[in-house]
Amino acid sequence: MNLGLKGRHALVIGPSRGLGKAIASAFVGGGMRVAICFRDAGQLATASQQSGAEGLICNLAIPDAADEFIRNVEERLGAIHVLVVNTGGPSPVPFCSLSYATKRSAFESLAMSDVGAIRAAPPSMQTRHLGHVKAVTSGAAKEPVPNLPLSSSLRAGLHGLVNALMPGYEPTKRLWDLNLDEVQLTSLIPADGIDRYESCAATAD
């Protein structure tokens, strides 16, 4: 795939599987040098091997962790030209069943981890007058999905900061957790089929 970004550097956050990993793979295939970030060493190693990207461990849910991490990435790769933030969502649960602690935890892990990276990367991009930041959210950020109140509301907030890639229904663990019928979903989708990672990843540049 020719993304016109050959020789540039990208950081993809949260690409252990699914769309995040597909985006990293597409960037590598387009000739970019790519770093990926995840907090689980085992999943990171697998994603790195499968995508061809360089794996770096970091838990961006820790306050201010993003600043040091972005500096380390730029020391290792060089200037970041493309940043893609992509985090997994909380488990499905009705809104009225959520405790305050669960809401706070989801805010820190889903929203603030992305916000930290989004805040840390642009200064060097602004200095070079070159850079691109995109958040991977979901269709739930535009139209709430039953039993996904945290994901729907917190992801929508990211749309006020940066451009977003909003995939529709994809063959993810989240889709199966919701016990949605694939045949029924397909009949409701104009494209007559559930999204595939590769088609969404191609729009992330």
Q: What is the pLDDT of residues 120-150, one digit of tens each?
A: 887 888 888 788 898 888 777 777 877 888 8
Q: Determine the structural domain holding residue 117 and report its residue range.
A: 9-201
- Residue 188 within any structural domain of the chain: yes
- Residue 3 within any structural domain of the chain: no
Domain count, the chain: 1
User: pLDDT value at position 131?
Assistant: 86
- Residue 39 within any structural domain of the chain: yes
Measured between its terminal Cα atoms, the distance across the chain in Å is: 11
Say which CATH number the domain at 20 has.
3.40.50.720
Is the overall model pTM greater than 0.85, yes or no? no
Q: How far apart are CA 188 and CA 203, in angstroms?
A: 23
H-run or E-run covering 18: helix 18-29
